[in-house]
Structure 1
């Protein structure tokens, strides 16, 4: 008796627990019961309120009234109910059609109830409305789909579900930052492209100017080479002139010494002429005295008569000789006077020549100094021109290197412009909120492969 009472008490407790369990499910979940063929038996208030029906409107009708008509026609839907009829349960997220035609998403489990032989007697579905969660996830999926297509203008609306709201906020923040970054990249890529084009144009212009400058430098170098050769030749010629001036000055100095010697010789000749004049004067006096003596001798011979005849002849001859001596002395005196005058004239001319030679020597000395300065300047100019030529050669080398570098810079700027255009093309697929492009197409709602 007591044993049966305990069993009854345990059974009652188990029944109470089951009743309480089903009461909790009925209060918190949407439930509906079907026959194995999908015919609706009953549904609780949560289910009816969620789909907008009354129990009378659904009792006896088929489960397919809640399913998209297109899906009802698929083999998957038939296989779904075949599986339930064979005792297979399904748990998934399912889209269902409300009475007003809107879609409700549920997290549901279809569980067959089996008899003692394992046959399905009915199917119970326990479901939870996850439409808000699904719609939130769907909005994020749409955003990701648009993000994949480059549309950064889409923003996910807020949600009352904390986790979905946090995910939406994170998505919106990330897309906003990405949109700002892409807008900046677009702007920068445009600026870089324009700058690269300007740099390329400037590099091209600089390249042309550098090539022109290089050609001018080559011509300048050639001209300086010729000028350097000319200056060197002039310096060499000036050296020759300097040497010729040295020789001319030496000759003039030698001529000056010769003139001095000639002046001294003329002075000696003048002295000798004076002595000869004195001797001739003496000779004239002697001739005069001899003539007087011969005259006296002739007078005395005449007085002597025949005895003095021979003496008279001698006296006559002596007188004639004295006369000729006097005449000769006179002629010599004339010649000596003329010679003296000529010597005086020659001395004057030689003195003048000496003075002129002195002035010539002084002038040649000054000229030689100037020639020496010119020669020194020409040599220094030749050295300077050689240094300038070396500098121009180095400048030409640097210019050629600059031309090569400018060509490299031009190629680099063209490459940069190409890369900037490529970057602009890459980021052009992104559409930000300020671009004004139409939004991407909506995403097809997710359906499980075994959705029923």
Structure 2
């Protein structure tokens, strides 16, 4: 019986000693403070007093609200916090507290009520750890993230003495630096793309207008060449007719030349005949002269014969009269023959001149025929060439129409590209890099885990 009591006393003592040891460890390593259920401060350990800059005499008997933001003290949440502790609830969170010098200290704390055997709160103990440096580092990272959210890539998170926070800060700075470089490149590229797209769009628009004009011009040219082809074909046909007419004219001229040649020969024969007639007339004149002379002699002889020769004298007189008339007729005929000879000579000259002119006409017509033949051949070749040109212009017109459609598509695509580039530039413009010359981003709301208690 005594042994059992002793064991229980020993176990209770061990438990008390363990609790004392736990409390000693907590007191040595943590900041602790004790409150009445209404929040009145009972006592605090050295770690707590040192962290907030007070002495125990300065805080004993005062309310917990002396460490809390005055605005938060007035809120229903602060009142509910102490009501919850009074009803036996515990709270663990990160809390901002005000030091004696007015600065802020951040703590990781647990508020836990001490309960009696009836479950009523007799006091509240808070066990806290100073996490100001950690919270500051996290808050700086939060600021950086908020600036990143607003597009500010120029902000860098300062270093920290805590390895895990320092690793986060370095990772953030490295990522933002890389992102800043990328965004700066994207800005430059988007600006170039937008400018190039605008230039391409303008060039495509100009090219589209010029292509449409060219297409219309080609269409008009095709129509004009088609008409010209028809005209040249008609001209070639007409030139063929002219060539045939020239052939007929040359044949006629050559025939006329032969007729003139025959006329010249006939005139020559007439001239020869006229000369012979002149010779005959000369003989006839000589005969008439001799007859007249004989008749004169016969009259003289008849006169000498007297009465016996009177009849012969009459005959001689008649013969002389006939001889005179024959001489006169021969003279007249000779005059007419001379006149005819002169006219024949004049006609021969004119016919010779006509022959020369006809020869020159034949030569000119022959040259003209050769030229017309060459023109006809050239016109035929031109008609063929124009037909080929017309076919080529038609194909070129078709290709130009297709090009115009493609240019319109390219213009629409470049306009769409310019629009997308502007949208990209607008999206990228929200980011501010160190090279943009922007001032630092405005103040951001600091990270707050809780204002409770």
Question: What number of residue pairs does the alignment pair up?
Answer: 452
Give the TM-score normalised by structure 2.
0.76
**More deviation in 190-199 or 69-78?**
190-199
In 1, the alpha carbon distance for the partners of 2:222 and 2:392 equals 9
The question of whether the paired residues in 2 share the 8 Å contact of 1:38 and 1:81 is answered with yes
The question of whether the paired residues in 1 share the 8 Å contact of 2:142 and 2:447 is answered with no
- SS for the counterpart of 1:319 is helix
**More deviation in 151-160 or 410-419?**
410-419
Q: How far 1:260 moved relative to its partner?
A: 0.8
**More deviation in 3-12 or 285-294?**
285-294
Q: How far 1:346 moved relative to its partner?
A: 2.8
Distance 1:442 1:329, change over 3 A: closer
Q: How far 1:161 moved relative to its partner?
A: 1.9
In 2, the alpha carbon distance for the partners of 1:419 and 1:346 equals 102
**More deviation in 134-143 or 238-247?**
238-247
After superposition, what is the alpha-carbon deviation per residue over 1:350-371, rounded to whole angstroms, capped at 9, x for unaligned? 2232223212322332233334
**More deviation in 32-41 or 397-406?**
397-406
Query: Which 5+ residue runs of structure 2 have no aligned equivalent?
Result: none
Query: Which 5+ residue runs of structure 1 have no aligned equivalent?
Result: none
The question of whether the paired residues in 2 share the 8 Å contact of 1:80 and 1:450 is answered with no
Q: How far 1:158 moved relative to its partner?
A: 0.8
The question of whether the paired residues in 2 share the 8 Å contact of 1:76 and 1:450 is answered with no
In 1, the alpha carbon distance for the partners of 2:419 and 2:12 equals 84
Q: How far 1:281 moved relative to its partner?
A: 5.5
Q: How far 1:395 moved relative to its partner?
A: 8.0
In 2, the alpha carbon distance for the partners of 1:435 and 1:263 equals 113
Give the TM-score normalised by structure 1.
0.76
Distance 1:6 1:216, change over 3 A: same
In 2, the alpha carbon distance for the partners of 1:233 and 1:133 equals 103
**More deviation in 295-304 or 161-170?**
295-304
Please say if 1:301 is aligned against 2:302: yes
> What corresponds to 1:395 in structure 2?
396
The question of whether the paired residues in 1 share the 8 Å contact of 2:94 and 2:450 is answered with no
The question of whether the paired residues in 1 share the 8 Å contact of 2:143 and 2:446 is answered with no
Aligned Cα root-mean-square deviation (Å): 4.7
The question of whether the paired residues in 2 share the 8 Å contact of 1:270 and 1:340 is answered with yes
Distance 1:331 1:374, change over 3 A: same
Q: How far 1:76 moved relative to its partner?
A: 1.2
In 2, the alpha carbon distance for the partners of 1:338 and 1:278 equals 15
Q: How far 1:285 moved relative to its partner?
A: 6.2
**More deviation in 22-31 or 383-392?**
383-392
Distance 1:48 1:391, change over 3 A: same
In 2, the alpha carbon distance for the partners of 1:434 and 1:252 equals 99
Distance 1:279 1:54, change over 3 A: same
The question of whether the paired residues in 1 share the 8 Å contact of 2:288 and 2:323 is answered with yes
Distance 1:252 1:69, change over 3 A: same
In 2, the alpha carbon distance for the partners of 1:391 and 1:154 equals 67
**More deviation in 417-426 or 348-357?**
417-426
**More deviation in 270-279 or 290-299?**
290-299
- SS for the counterpart of 2:436 is coil
Q: How far 1:211 moved relative to its partner?
A: 9.1
Q: How far 1:24 moved relative to its partner?
A: 3.3
After superposition, what is the alpha-carbon deviation per residue over 1:143-186, rounded to whole angstroms, capped at 9, x for unaligned? 22223333333221111222221221222223333333444455
The question of whether the paired residues in 2 share the 8 Å contact of 1:52 and 1:98 is answered with yes
After superposition, what is the alpha-carbon deviation per residue over 1:317-352, rounded to whole angstroms, capped at 9, x for unaligned? 455445434443443344334434433443343223
Q: How far 1:451 moved relative to its partner?
A: 1.4
**More deviation in 79-88 or 227-236?**
227-236
The question of whether the paired residues in 1 share the 8 Å contact of 2:95 and 2:450 is answered with no
Q: How far 1:64 moved relative to its partner?
A: 2.0
**More deviation in 430-439 or 294-303?**
294-303
The question of whether the paired residues in 2 share the 8 Å contact of 1:66 and 1:97 is answered with yes
**More deviation in 127-136 or 320-329?**
320-329
Q: How far 1:125 moved relative to its partner?
A: 1.8
Q: How far 1:256 moved relative to its partner?
A: 0.8
In 2, the alpha carbon distance for the partners of 1:375 and 1:241 equals 9
**More deviation in 21-30 or 188-197?**
188-197
Q: How far 1:47 moved relative to its partner?
A: 2.4
Distance 1:319 1:109, change over 3 A: same
The question of whether the paired residues in 2 share the 8 Å contact of 1:224 and 1:389 is answered with yes
